[in-house]
Structure 1
Amino acid sequence: MMETLDIINKTIIKGRQLHHVVVNAGKIVAMQTDLQLQQSVNGSDLINADGQAVVWASKVLGKPLKERVAGIDLMINLVALAYKKQYKIFFFGAKEEVVKEVVNRYSQQYSSNIIAGYRNGYFKKEDEATIAQQISQSGAHILFVAISSPTKENFLYENKKLLSNVNFVMGVGGSFDVVAGKVKRAPLWMQNTGLEWFYRFAQEPKRMWKRYLVGNSKFIGLVLKEKFKRFNH
Protein backbone atom coordinates (compact mmCIF):
# COMPACT_ATOMS: atom_id res chain seq x y z
CA MET A 1 0.00 0.00 0.00
CA MET A 2 2.73 2.47 0.98
CA GLU A 3 4.73 1.69 -2.19
CA THR A 4 1.61 2.25 -4.32
CA LEU A 5 0.83 5.59 -2.65
CA ASP A 6 4.44 6.70 -3.09
CA ILE A 7 4.41 5.85 -6.82
CA ILE A 8 1.11 7.74 -7.29
CA ASN A 9 2.32 10.80 -5.39
CA LYS A 10 5.56 10.96 -7.42
CA THR A 11 3.57 10.65 -10.67
CA ILE A 12 1.36 13.62 -9.73
CA ILE A 13 4.39 15.72 -8.71
CA LYS A 14 6.07 14.97 -12.07
CA GLY A 15 2.87 15.81 -13.96
CA ARG A 16 2.71 12.42 -15.67
CA GLN A 17 -0.17 9.99 -16.02
CA LEU A 18 -0.55 6.64 -14.26
CA HIS A 19 -3.28 4.21 -15.26
CA HIS A 20 -4.08 1.89 -12.34
CA VAL A 21 -6.14 -1.29 -12.15
CA VAL A 22 -6.88 -3.91 -9.50
CA VAL A 23 -7.36 -7.61 -10.18
CA ASN A 24 -9.22 -10.27 -8.23
CA ALA A 25 -10.03 -13.91 -9.00
CA GLY A 26 -13.20 -13.04 -10.92
CA LYS A 27 -11.49 -10.48 -13.14
CA ILE A 28 -8.61 -12.83 -13.98
CA VAL A 29 -11.14 -15.53 -14.97
CA ALA A 30 -13.06 -13.00 -17.12
CA MET A 31 -9.81 -11.93 -18.82
CA GLN A 32 -9.37 -15.45 -20.25
CA THR A 33 -12.35 -14.97 -22.60
CA ASP A 34 -12.89 -11.18 -22.67
CA LEU A 35 -9.96 -10.05 -24.81
CA GLN A 36 -10.90 -6.37 -24.58
CA LEU A 37 -10.80 -6.56 -20.78
CA GLN A 38 -7.50 -8.46 -21.00
CA GLN A 39 -6.03 -5.69 -23.18
CA SER A 40 -7.37 -2.96 -20.86
CA VAL A 41 -5.87 -4.60 -17.75
CA ASN A 42 -2.54 -5.54 -19.35
CA GLY A 43 -2.27 -2.08 -20.92
CA SER A 44 -2.40 -0.30 -17.56
CA ASP A 45 0.71 1.00 -15.76
CA LEU A 46 0.17 -0.31 -12.24
CA ILE A 47 -1.71 -3.44 -11.14
CA ASN A 48 -2.61 -4.29 -7.54
CA ALA A 49 -4.09 -7.51 -6.20
CA ASP A 50 -7.49 -6.57 -4.75
CA GLY A 51 -8.45 -10.16 -3.92
CA GLN A 52 -6.73 -12.28 -1.28
CA ALA A 53 -7.03 -15.24 -3.68
CA VAL A 54 -4.61 -13.48 -6.06
CA VAL A 55 -2.09 -13.04 -3.23
CA TRP A 56 -2.36 -16.76 -2.37
CA ALA A 57 -1.98 -17.69 -6.05
CA SER A 58 1.16 -15.52 -6.33
CA LYS A 59 2.72 -17.54 -3.50
CA VAL A 60 1.69 -20.89 -4.99
CA LEU A 61 3.24 -19.83 -8.33
CA GLY A 62 6.49 -18.69 -6.71
CA LYS A 63 6.07 -14.93 -7.39
CA PRO A 64 4.81 -13.79 -3.97
CA LEU A 65 3.09 -10.42 -3.66
CA LYS A 66 3.68 -8.53 -0.40
CA GLU A 67 0.03 -7.91 0.43
CA ARG A 68 -3.46 -7.31 -0.86
CA VAL A 69 -4.12 -3.68 -1.82
CA ALA A 70 -7.90 -3.35 -1.88
CA GLY A 71 -9.22 -0.67 -4.25
CA ILE A 72 -11.40 0.90 -1.57
CA ASP A 73 -8.50 1.14 0.91
CA LEU A 74 -6.32 2.75 -1.75
CA MET A 75 -9.11 5.20 -2.57
CA ILE A 76 -9.57 6.17 1.11
CA ASN A 77 -5.81 6.71 1.49
CA LEU A 78 -5.69 8.79 -1.69
CA VAL A 79 -8.50 11.09 -0.51
CA ALA A 80 -6.46 11.78 2.65
CA LEU A 81 -3.34 12.35 0.50
CA ALA A 82 -5.27 14.74 -1.78
CA TYR A 83 -6.25 16.84 1.23
CA LYS A 84 -2.68 16.88 2.54
CA LYS A 85 -1.09 17.72 -0.84
CA GLN A 86 -3.91 19.92 -2.21
CA TYR A 87 -4.77 17.59 -5.10
CA LYS A 88 -8.20 17.58 -6.72
CA ILE A 89 -10.37 14.51 -7.33
CA PHE A 90 -13.14 13.75 -9.84
CA PHE A 91 -15.71 11.16 -8.69
CA PHE A 92 -17.38 9.31 -11.59
CA GLY A 93 -19.91 6.50 -11.25
CA ALA A 94 -22.72 4.99 -9.16
CA LYS A 95 -26.23 6.46 -8.85
CA GLU A 96 -26.66 10.23 -8.64
CA GLU A 97 -27.66 10.19 -4.94
CA VAL A 98 -24.72 7.90 -4.08
CA VAL A 99 -22.00 9.94 -5.80
CA LYS A 100 -23.50 13.15 -4.31
CA GLU A 101 -23.36 11.59 -0.83
CA VAL A 102 -19.70 10.57 -1.34
CA VAL A 103 -18.82 14.14 -2.36
CA ASN A 104 -20.75 15.57 0.62
CA ARG A 105 -19.09 13.22 3.10
CA TYR A 106 -15.57 13.91 1.84
CA SER A 107 -16.24 17.68 1.67
CA GLN A 108 -17.29 17.59 5.34
CA GLN A 109 -14.49 15.25 6.45
CA TYR A 110 -11.74 17.16 4.61
CA SER A 111 -12.66 20.17 2.48
CA SER A 112 -14.67 20.89 -0.68
CA ASN A 113 -11.34 22.06 -2.17
CA ILE A 114 -10.43 18.44 -2.98
CA ILE A 115 -13.49 18.08 -5.26
CA ALA A 116 -12.82 18.76 -8.95
CA GLY A 117 -16.27 17.49 -9.95
CA TYR A 118 -18.55 14.47 -10.04
CA ARG A 119 -20.91 12.62 -12.35
CA ASN A 120 -23.14 9.54 -12.01
CA GLY A 121 -22.29 6.34 -13.87
CA TYR A 122 -25.29 6.21 -16.21
CA PHE A 123 -24.44 7.10 -19.81
CA LYS A 124 -24.55 5.85 -23.38
CA LYS A 125 -21.46 4.65 -25.26
CA GLU A 126 -21.58 7.73 -27.51
CA ASP A 127 -21.39 10.02 -24.42
CA GLU A 128 -18.01 8.62 -23.33
CA ALA A 129 -15.76 11.09 -25.18
CA THR A 130 -17.75 14.09 -23.87
CA ILE A 131 -17.54 12.76 -20.30
CA ALA A 132 -13.79 12.14 -20.64
CA GLN A 133 -13.30 15.73 -21.89
CA GLN A 134 -15.40 17.10 -19.01
CA ILE A 135 -13.21 15.20 -16.51
CA SER A 136 -10.02 16.30 -18.29
CA GLN A 137 -11.06 19.97 -18.13
CA SER A 138 -12.09 19.80 -14.45
CA GLY A 139 -8.54 20.31 -13.14
CA ALA A 140 -8.57 16.87 -11.46
CA HIS A 141 -5.28 15.22 -10.52
CA ILE A 142 -7.08 11.98 -9.55
CA LEU A 143 -10.06 10.18 -11.12
CA PHE A 144 -12.07 7.45 -9.38
CA VAL A 145 -14.43 5.42 -11.59
CA ALA A 146 -17.10 3.51 -9.63
CA ILE A 147 -18.58 1.41 -12.43
CA SER A 148 -18.65 -2.39 -12.70
CA SER A 149 -16.22 -4.48 -14.77
CA PRO A 150 -15.46 -4.58 -17.64
CA THR A 151 -17.07 -1.18 -18.41
CA LYS A 152 -14.74 0.84 -16.16
CA GLU A 153 -11.53 -0.82 -17.38
CA ASN A 154 -12.53 -0.36 -21.02
CA PHE A 155 -13.65 3.25 -20.47
CA LEU A 156 -10.28 4.15 -18.92
CA TYR A 157 -8.28 2.29 -21.55
CA GLU A 158 -10.21 3.64 -24.56
CA ASN A 159 -10.22 7.24 -23.29
CA LYS A 160 -6.63 7.33 -22.06
CA LYS A 161 -5.60 10.12 -24.46
CA LEU A 162 -8.65 12.28 -23.68
CA LEU A 163 -7.88 11.88 -19.96
CA SER A 164 -4.20 12.78 -20.35
CA ASN A 165 -4.59 15.89 -18.14
CA VAL A 166 -5.50 13.65 -15.19
CA ASN A 167 -2.40 12.26 -13.44
CA PHE A 168 -3.93 9.21 -11.79
CA VAL A 169 -6.93 7.17 -12.94
CA MET A 170 -8.38 4.09 -11.29
CA GLY A 171 -11.54 2.00 -11.21
CA VAL A 172 -13.03 1.57 -7.73
CA GLY A 173 -16.01 -0.74 -8.42
CA GLY A 174 -18.64 -0.52 -5.68
CA SER A 175 -16.53 1.63 -3.34
CA PHE A 176 -18.83 4.68 -3.55
CA ASP A 177 -21.70 2.57 -2.14
CA VAL A 178 -19.53 1.71 0.88
CA VAL A 179 -18.41 5.33 1.49
CA ALA A 180 -22.01 6.54 1.12
CA GLY A 181 -23.15 3.99 3.72
CA LYS A 182 -25.30 1.94 1.31
CA VAL A 183 -23.23 -1.25 1.62
CA LYS A 184 -21.39 -2.53 4.70
CA ARG A 185 -17.85 -3.81 4.45
CA ALA A 186 -16.77 -7.06 6.05
CA PRO A 187 -15.21 -6.88 9.53
CA LEU A 188 -11.44 -6.39 9.52
CA TRP A 189 -10.70 -10.00 10.56
CA MET A 190 -12.66 -11.26 7.53
CA GLN A 191 -10.78 -8.86 5.22
CA ASN A 192 -7.44 -10.03 6.62
CA THR A 193 -8.23 -13.74 6.37
CA GLY A 194 -9.49 -13.51 2.79
CA LEU A 195 -13.16 -14.01 3.70
CA GLU A 196 -14.48 -10.65 2.50
CA TRP A 197 -15.99 -12.39 -0.54
CA PHE A 198 -18.05 -14.63 1.77
CA TYR A 199 -19.38 -11.60 3.65
CA ARG A 200 -20.50 -10.03 0.36
CA PHE A 201 -21.99 -13.33 -0.76
CA ALA A 202 -24.00 -13.56 2.50
CA GLN A 203 -25.33 -10.00 1.93
CA GLU A 204 -26.46 -10.60 -1.66
CA PRO A 205 -26.54 -14.38 -2.31
CA LYS A 206 -28.80 -14.19 -5.39
CA ARG A 207 -26.56 -11.69 -7.13
CA MET A 208 -23.21 -13.07 -5.97
CA TRP A 209 -23.44 -16.87 -5.93
CA LYS A 210 -22.43 -17.39 -9.55
CA ARG A 211 -19.67 -14.79 -9.42
CA TYR A 212 -18.03 -16.33 -6.36
CA LEU A 213 -18.76 -20.05 -6.44
CA VAL A 214 -18.35 -20.57 -10.18
CA GLY A 215 -15.69 -17.85 -10.61
CA ASN A 216 -13.54 -19.02 -7.68
CA SER A 217 -13.62 -22.63 -8.88
CA LYS A 218 -12.45 -21.56 -12.34
CA PHE A 219 -9.71 -19.44 -10.76
CA ILE A 220 -8.39 -22.40 -8.72
CA GLY A 221 -8.38 -24.42 -11.96
CA LEU A 222 -6.32 -21.72 -13.73
CA VAL A 223 -3.78 -21.57 -10.88
CA LEU A 224 -3.36 -25.37 -10.81
CA LYS A 225 -3.01 -25.50 -14.60
CA GLU A 226 -0.27 -22.84 -14.45
CA LYS A 227 1.45 -24.63 -11.56
CA PHE A 228 1.57 -27.95 -13.43
CA LYS A 229 2.71 -26.23 -16.63
CA ARG A 230 5.69 -24.74 -14.75
CA PHE A 231 6.33 -28.01 -12.92
CA ASN A 232 6.52 -29.91 -16.23
CA HIS A 233 8.95 -27.34 -17.69
Structure 2
Amino acid sequence: MLKPAAPARQMFGLKIDALTLDDVIWYSRRAIENRQRLLIGVVNAAKVINLRTDASLRESLMECDLVLADGQSVVWAGVVLKQRLPERVAGIDIFQELLALADAEHRSVYLLGARAEVLEKLVAVINQRYPGARVVGSRDGYFTEDESAGVAAKIREAGADMLFLGITSPKKEIFLGTYGSQLDVPVLHGVGGSFDVLAGVTQRAPQLWQRVGMEWAYRLKQEPSRLWRRYLNTNSRFVGLVVQEYRNRGGIGRKITKERS
Protein backbone atom coordinates (compact mmCIF):
# COMPACT_ATOMS: atom_id res chain seq x y z
CA MET A 1 0.00 0.00 0.00
CA LEU A 2 1.31 3.43 -0.96
CA LYS A 3 1.98 6.13 1.61
CA PRO A 4 -0.67 8.80 2.01
CA ALA A 5 -0.05 11.65 -0.42
CA ALA A 6 2.59 14.10 0.76
CA PRO A 7 1.65 17.74 1.17
CA ALA A 8 1.79 19.61 -2.13
CA ARG A 9 3.01 23.17 -2.55
CA GLN A 10 1.13 25.52 -4.84
CA MET A 11 3.36 27.61 -7.10
CA PHE A 12 3.12 28.93 -10.65
CA GLY A 13 -0.21 27.19 -11.18
CA LEU A 14 1.33 23.83 -10.25
CA LYS A 15 1.05 21.46 -7.35
CA ILE A 16 4.63 20.43 -6.54
CA ASP A 17 5.03 17.47 -4.20
CA ALA A 18 7.02 18.14 -1.02
CA LEU A 19 9.12 14.97 -1.17
CA THR A 20 12.75 14.00 -0.69
CA LEU A 21 14.72 11.73 -3.02
CA ASP A 22 14.34 8.90 -0.51
CA ASP A 23 10.57 9.39 -0.56
CA VAL A 24 10.50 9.14 -4.35
CA ILE A 25 12.42 5.86 -4.30
CA TRP A 26 10.03 4.52 -1.63
CA TYR A 27 7.04 5.33 -3.81
CA SER A 28 8.79 3.77 -6.82
CA ARG A 29 9.49 0.50 -5.02
CA ARG A 30 5.87 0.24 -3.88
CA ALA A 31 4.61 1.03 -7.39
CA ILE A 32 6.72 -1.80 -8.86
CA GLU A 33 5.63 -4.26 -6.19
CA ASN A 34 1.96 -3.42 -6.75
CA ARG A 35 2.24 -2.92 -10.54
CA GLN A 36 0.73 0.52 -10.11
CA ARG A 37 1.65 3.39 -12.39
CA LEU A 38 3.93 6.09 -10.98
CA LEU A 39 4.47 8.78 -13.58
CA ILE A 40 7.19 11.14 -12.36
CA GLY A 41 7.36 14.71 -13.59
CA VAL A 42 10.00 17.32 -12.75
CA VAL A 43 10.04 21.09 -13.13
CA ASN A 44 12.77 23.68 -13.32
CA ALA A 45 12.82 27.38 -14.21
CA ALA A 46 12.71 26.76 -17.96
CA LYS A 47 9.76 24.40 -17.71
CA VAL A 48 7.85 26.81 -15.47
CA ILE A 49 8.29 29.46 -18.17
CA ASN A 50 7.35 27.15 -21.04
CA LEU A 51 4.23 25.64 -19.51
CA ARG A 52 2.60 29.08 -19.51
CA THR A 53 2.39 29.05 -23.30
CA ASP A 54 2.67 25.33 -24.13
CA ALA A 55 -0.71 23.70 -23.52
CA SER A 56 0.59 20.19 -24.32
CA LEU A 57 3.35 20.50 -21.74
CA ARG A 58 0.92 21.82 -19.15
CA GLU A 59 -1.58 19.01 -19.77
CA SER A 60 1.16 16.38 -19.62
CA LEU A 61 2.27 17.64 -16.20
CA MET A 62 -1.33 17.35 -15.04
CA GLU A 63 -1.12 13.63 -15.84
CA CYS A 64 1.86 13.06 -13.54
CA ASP A 65 1.44 11.20 -10.27
CA LEU A 66 4.36 13.11 -8.74
CA VAL A 67 5.68 16.55 -9.72
CA LEU A 68 9.06 17.38 -8.20
CA ALA A 69 11.39 20.37 -8.05
CA ASP A 70 14.27 19.44 -10.35
CA GLY A 71 15.71 22.97 -10.32
CA GLN A 72 17.21 24.65 -7.26
CA SER A 73 15.56 27.88 -8.42
CA VAL A 74 12.15 26.28 -7.79
CA VAL A 75 13.21 25.35 -4.24
CA TRP A 76 14.41 28.92 -3.61
CA ALA A 77 11.13 30.26 -5.02
CA GLY A 78 9.31 28.08 -2.50
CA VAL A 79 11.15 29.82 0.35
CA VAL A 80 10.24 33.26 -0.98
CA LEU A 81 6.61 32.27 -1.53
CA LYS A 82 6.27 30.41 1.80
CA GLN A 83 5.74 27.14 -0.05
CA ARG A 84 8.81 25.36 1.27
CA LEU A 85 10.05 22.17 -0.37
CA PRO A 86 12.33 19.80 1.56
CA GLU A 87 15.02 19.63 -1.12
CA ARG A 88 15.80 19.70 -4.79
CA VAL A 89 15.07 16.31 -6.36
CA ALA A 90 17.13 16.29 -9.55
CA GLY A 91 15.96 14.07 -12.40
CA ILE A 92 19.43 12.58 -12.87
CA ASP A 93 19.60 11.66 -9.16
CA ILE A 94 16.24 9.89 -9.41
CA PHE A 95 17.56 8.08 -12.50
CA GLN A 96 20.68 6.82 -10.76
CA GLU A 97 18.89 5.83 -7.57
CA LEU A 98 16.28 3.91 -9.56
CA LEU A 99 19.05 2.11 -11.44
CA ALA A 100 20.55 1.20 -8.06
CA LEU A 101 17.14 -0.12 -7.01
CA ALA A 102 16.93 -2.15 -10.23
CA ASP A 103 20.41 -3.50 -9.54
CA ALA A 104 19.58 -4.51 -5.95
CA GLU A 105 16.21 -6.07 -6.77
CA HIS A 106 16.95 -7.37 -10.29
CA ARG A 107 14.32 -5.15 -11.89
CA SER A 108 13.97 -4.57 -15.62
CA VAL A 109 14.40 -1.23 -17.39
CA TYR A 110 13.66 0.18 -20.84
CA LEU A 111 15.68 3.09 -22.26
CA LEU A 112 14.14 5.49 -24.74
CA GLY A 113 16.04 8.48 -26.08
CA ALA A 114 19.35 10.02 -27.15
CA ARG A 115 21.35 9.08 -30.25
CA ALA A 116 21.97 5.45 -31.07
CA GLU A 117 25.69 5.67 -30.27
CA VAL A 118 24.97 7.31 -26.89
CA LEU A 119 22.40 4.65 -26.11
CA GLU A 120 24.93 1.92 -26.85
CA LYS A 121 27.41 3.48 -24.42
CA LEU A 122 24.69 3.91 -21.80
CA VAL A 123 23.68 0.25 -21.94
CA ALA A 124 27.35 -0.73 -21.50
CA VAL A 125 27.68 1.57 -18.46
CA ILE A 126 24.51 0.18 -16.86
CA ASN A 127 25.65 -3.39 -17.44
CA GLN A 128 28.95 -2.57 -15.74
CA ARG A 129 27.77 -0.40 -12.83
CA TYR A 130 24.38 -1.97 -12.21
CA PRO A 131 24.79 -5.62 -13.20
CA GLY A 132 21.61 -6.70 -11.44
CA ALA A 133 19.49 -4.35 -13.57
CA ARG A 134 18.06 -5.98 -16.69
CA VAL A 135 17.88 -3.79 -19.79
CA VAL A 136 14.97 -5.38 -21.64
CA GLY A 137 14.81 -2.88 -24.48
CA SER A 138 16.12 0.38 -25.87
CA ARG A 139 15.34 2.78 -28.68
CA ASP A 140 16.89 6.08 -29.73
CA GLY A 141 14.87 9.25 -29.36
CA TYR A 142 14.70 10.18 -33.04
CA PHE A 143 11.20 9.12 -33.94
CA THR A 144 8.36 11.11 -35.47
CA GLU A 145 4.95 11.74 -33.99
CA ASP A 146 3.52 9.21 -36.45
CA GLU A 147 5.92 6.58 -35.10
CA SER A 148 5.08 7.24 -31.43
CA ALA A 149 2.28 4.67 -31.19
CA GLY A 150 4.58 1.95 -32.54
CA VAL A 151 7.31 2.93 -30.08
CA ALA A 152 4.77 2.72 -27.24
CA ALA A 153 3.70 -0.75 -28.41
CA LYS A 154 7.31 -2.00 -28.32
CA ILE A 155 7.74 -0.70 -24.78
CA ARG A 156 4.58 -2.45 -23.66
CA GLU A 157 5.76 -5.73 -25.20
CA ALA A 158 9.05 -5.53 -23.27
CA GLY A 159 7.26 -5.72 -19.90
CA ALA A 160 9.73 -3.45 -18.08
CA ASP A 161 9.45 -2.36 -14.45
CA MET A 162 10.87 1.09 -15.24
CA LEU A 163 10.95 3.31 -18.33
CA PHE A 164 13.50 6.10 -18.64
CA LEU A 165 13.18 8.72 -21.37
CA GLY A 166 16.32 10.60 -22.39
CA ILE A 167 14.34 13.02 -24.53
CA THR A 168 14.12 16.80 -24.31
CA SER A 169 11.08 18.71 -23.10
CA PRO A 170 8.31 18.94 -24.05
CA LYS A 171 8.55 15.81 -26.25
CA LYS A 172 9.11 13.46 -23.30
CA GLU A 173 6.25 14.93 -21.26
CA ILE A 174 3.91 14.76 -24.23
CA PHE A 175 4.87 11.14 -24.97
CA LEU A 176 4.31 10.11 -21.36
CA GLY A 177 1.10 12.10 -21.07
CA THR A 178 -0.24 10.49 -24.26
CA TYR A 179 0.92 6.89 -23.88
CA GLY A 180 1.86 6.48 -20.22
CA SER A 181 -1.36 4.70 -19.26
CA GLN A 182 -0.96 2.24 -22.16
CA LEU A 183 2.61 1.10 -21.50
CA ASP A 184 2.00 -1.22 -18.53
CA VAL A 185 5.22 0.05 -16.92
CA PRO A 186 4.96 0.92 -13.20
CA VAL A 187 7.65 3.63 -12.99
CA LEU A 188 7.97 6.17 -15.79
CA HIS A 189 10.56 8.94 -15.60
CA GLY A 190 11.71 11.48 -18.17
CA VAL A 191 15.39 12.16 -17.52
CA GLY A 192 16.26 14.59 -20.33
CA GLY A 193 20.01 14.84 -20.94
CA SER A 194 20.91 12.34 -18.20
CA PHE A 195 21.59 9.63 -20.77
CA ASP A 196 24.48 11.71 -22.14
CA VAL A 197 25.87 12.30 -18.64
CA LEU A 198 25.72 8.68 -17.51
CA ALA A 199 27.13 7.49 -20.85
CA GLY A 200 30.12 9.82 -20.35
CA VAL A 201 29.34 12.00 -23.37
CA THR A 202 28.81 15.15 -21.29
CA GLN A 203 29.99 16.03 -17.79
CA ARG A 204 27.77 16.89 -14.85
CA ALA A 205 28.65 19.83 -12.64
CA PRO A 206 30.85 19.04 -9.60
CA GLN A 207 29.11 18.58 -6.25
CA LEU A 208 29.98 22.08 -5.05
CA TRP A 209 28.26 23.66 -8.06
CA GLN A 210 25.24 21.43 -7.47
CA ARG A 211 24.99 22.28 -3.76
CA VAL A 212 24.94 26.03 -4.37
CA GLY A 213 22.35 25.72 -7.13
CA MET A 214 24.71 26.70 -9.96
CA GLU A 215 24.55 23.56 -12.08
CA TRP A 216 23.02 25.64 -14.88
CA ALA A 217 26.08 27.93 -14.77
CA TYR A 218 28.39 24.95 -15.19
CA ARG A 219 26.47 23.91 -18.30
CA LEU A 220 26.72 27.50 -19.54
CA LYS A 221 30.48 27.37 -18.97
CA GLN A 222 30.67 24.24 -21.16
CA GLU A 223 28.54 25.61 -24.02
CA PRO A 224 28.44 29.42 -23.70
CA SER A 225 27.67 30.27 -27.32
CA ARG A 226 24.67 27.94 -27.42
CA LEU A 227 23.21 28.53 -23.98
CA TRP A 228 23.88 32.11 -22.83
CA ARG A 229 20.87 33.68 -24.53
CA ARG A 230 18.54 30.88 -23.40
CA TYR A 231 19.63 31.11 -19.75
CA LEU A 232 19.54 34.91 -19.70
CA ASN A 233 16.01 34.91 -21.04
CA THR A 234 14.76 32.03 -18.87
CA ASN A 235 16.32 33.15 -15.59
CA SER A 236 15.21 36.78 -15.90
CA ARG A 237 11.64 35.73 -16.76
CA PHE A 238 11.57 33.26 -13.88
CA VAL A 239 12.65 35.93 -11.40
CA GLY A 240 9.87 38.12 -12.78
CA LEU A 241 7.32 35.35 -12.19
CA VAL A 242 8.47 34.90 -8.59
CA VAL A 243 8.12 38.62 -7.95
CA GLN A 244 4.69 38.68 -9.58
CA GLU A 245 3.46 35.72 -7.57
CA TYR A 246 4.90 37.13 -4.37
CA ARG A 247 2.82 40.26 -4.94
CA ASN A 248 -0.27 38.27 -5.81
CA ARG A 249 -0.51 34.93 -4.05
CA GLY A 250 -3.60 34.12 -6.07
CA GLY A 251 -1.10 32.30 -8.29
CA ILE A 252 0.05 32.53 -11.87
CA GLY A 253 -1.73 30.89 -14.74
CA ARG A 254 -4.42 28.28 -14.54
CA LYS A 255 -4.43 26.34 -11.28
CA ILE A 256 -4.06 22.61 -11.68
CA THR A 257 -6.88 21.22 -9.62
CA LYS A 258 -6.81 17.63 -10.76
CA GLU A 259 -6.38 15.23 -7.87
CA ARG A 260 -3.37 12.94 -8.17
CA SER A 261 -3.64 9.47 -6.73
**TM category, shorter:** over 0.9
**C-alpha contact (below 8 Å) 2:111/2:163 kept by paired residues:** yes
Q: Which of 192, 200, 205 is the equivalent residue of 1:173?
A: 192
Partner of 2:258: none
Please, which of 226, 229, 232 is the counterpart of residue 248 of structure 2? 229
Deviations 1:47-66 (A, max 9, x none): 11111000000111111000
Cα offset, 1:88, TM superposition: 0.4
Cα distance, 1:83 vs structure 2: 1.1
Amino acid at match of 2:98: L
Report the residue type matching 1:208 in the other structure. Answer: L
- 8 Å CA contact 2:103–2:130 kept in 1: the answer is yes
Distance 1:206 1:134, change over 3 A: same
State the Cα RMSD in Å. 1.2
The answer on whether the counterparts of 2:119 and 2:140 sit within 8 Å (CA) in structure 1 is yes
- Cα deviation, residue 113, structure 1: 5.1
Aligned twin of 1:34: 54
Distance 1:156 1:108 in 2: 28
Runs (4+) off by over 3 Å: none
Post-superposition offset of 1:211: 2.2
CA deviations over 1:150-203 (Å, ceiling 9, x no partner): 01100110112321x100111100001001111111110000000100000111
State the one-letter code of the partner of 1:78: L
CA distance in 2, matches of 1:215, 1:113: 37
Paired residue type of 1:173:
G
DSSP 3-state at the match of 1:161: helix
Alignment of 1:146-157 (within 5 A): 146-157=166-177
- Aligned twin of 2:230: 211
Q: Does 1:192 align with 2:211?
A: yes
Structure 1: gaps spanning 5 or more residues: none
For the Cα contact (< 8 Å) 2:38–2:188, is it kept in 1? yes
Measured in 2, the distance between the counterparts of 1:113 and 1:9 equals 14
Partners of 1:135 and 1:60 lie apart in 2 by 42
Q: For 2:178 and 2:78, how far apart are their aligned partners in 1?
A: 29
- Structure with the higher helix share, 1 or 2: 1
Structure 1 window deviating more from structure 2 (154-163 vs 18-27): it is 154-163
Corresponding residue SS for 2:111:
strand
Q: For 1:116-137, what per-residue CA distance to the aligned partner results, in whole angstroms no more than 9, with x for missing partners?
A: 1111111111110110110111
Pair 1:133 & 2:160 matched: no
Structure 1 letter corresponding to 2:42: V
Q: Answer yes or no: is 1:74 the counterpart of 2:94.
A: yes
Following superposition, the deviation at residue 112 of structure 1 comes to 6.7
Task: Please report how far the alpha carbon of residue 230 of structure 1 lies from its aligned counterpart in structure 2 after TM superposition.
Answer: 2.4
Match of 1:65 in 2: 85
| Partner Cα separation in structure 1 for residue 200 and residue 36 of structure 2 | 33
Change beyond 3 A, Cα 1:26–1:45: same
Maintained 8 Å contact 1:24/1:49: yes
User: Which one-letter code corresponds to 1:228 in the other structure?
Assistant: R
Alignment length, in residue pairs?
230
Match for 1:98 among 118, 122, 127? 118
Unpaired segments of 5 or more residues in structure 2?
1-20, 251-261
Deviations 1:89-117 (A, max 9, x none): 00110000101111111112222752111
Moved more, 117-126 or 107-116: 107-116
Query: Aligned partners of 1:79, 1:206: CA distance in 2, in Å?
Result: 33
- TM-score normalised per structure 2: 0.86
Question: C-alpha displacement at 1:210, in angstroms?
Answer: 2.4
Q: For the Cα contact (< 8 Å) 1:89–1:115, is it kept in 2?
A: yes
Correspondence for 2:5: none
After TM superposition, the score normalised by the length of structure 1 is: 0.96
